Amino acid sequence: MTAVALVAIAVFASACGNSSSGGLGVLLGDSSALRMAVDDVPAGQPLSFGSLMLCVESAGAATVTGVDLDQPAGNARVDAFAIRPNPFASGQDGLGADRKALTDVAGGFVPANPQVVSGPCPAAGTSSAGDGTAQLSELGVEVSWDGHGDYAGSKALDIHYQKDGRTSVLTVPFAVWLCASACPSSLPG
């Protein structure tokens, strides 16, 4: 499997780059965009990935109601998603990537439960697990594809959520590509 290492906690990024939006926020890796390209994925095989840490930018909780591939290419789809408490805060590993259904991944992902994020976002520029990140939530996502073509995926994820009576979407620059054989280096994202 070829994949970019998923860096657990490095740089805070908020919805649409506006840290005063009061909505859902996400901690990304060292760059402003992450990319995961997975070789040799058969049609219908689930691939679950995580290490995307979610938080709320203002008091209150947000309920994640859906996760989609943003402007997908090919027939890749999100089959399930779930939230669990920050595993890094207790010295555990994040999900990373695994060729299993999200329900078969150890560590507390339960897609059928309400997916609530209530931990506050740490200050911008936070760079370690000791800087207010213990209350974050890890987002786990399961994707698959129909196997038609050489690859399918997207340059970003859309996280749909409700907070303070409003429905919003947070687009995260996290590219996900599933490939029939070796993934080409020219994939977007």
pLDDT tens digits for range 64-84: 999 999 999 999 999 999 999
Q: In this structure, is residue 22 part of a structural domain?
A: yes
pLDDT digits (tens, 9 = 90+) for 22-59: 799 988 654 545 889 999 999 999 999 988 999 999 99
Q: Is 10 left (phi over 0), alpha (psi -120 to 50) or beta?
A: alpha
Closest residue by Cα to residue 66 from 14, 111, 17: 111
Q: Which amino acid is at 90?
A: S
Look up the CATH number of the domain holding residue 77: 2.60.40
Angle at 119 between CA 113 and CA 123, to 5 degrees: 150
Show the domain range for 116: 11-179
Q: Is residue 75 part of a domain?
A: yes
pLDDT digits (tens, 9 = 90+) for 5-26: 233 333 344 433 333 467 999 8
The string of pLDDT tens digits covering residues 150-188 is: 999 999 999 999 999 999 999 999 999 999 999 999 998
Task: Note whether residue 47 is domain-resident.
Answer: yes
Is residue 2 a part of any domain in this protein? no
pLDDT at 146: 96
Q: How much of the chain, in percent, has pLDDT values that exceed 70?
A: 81
pTM listed for this prediction: 0.85
Buried b (16+ CB within 10 A) or exposed e, 12-38: bbbbeeeeebbbbbbbbbeeeebbbbb
Q: Is residue 34 part of a domain?
A: yes
Query: What CA–CA distance (Å, rounded) separates 39 from 1?
Result: 5
Residue 129 above 80 pLDDT?
A: no
pLDDT on residue 88: 85
Q: What is the mean pLDDT of residues 79-99?
A: 90
Compute the C-alpha angle 157/73/179, nearest 5°: 95
Q: Does residue 6 lie in a domain region? A: no
How many folded domains does the chain comprise? 1
Q: What is the mean pLDDT of residues 119-132?
A: 66
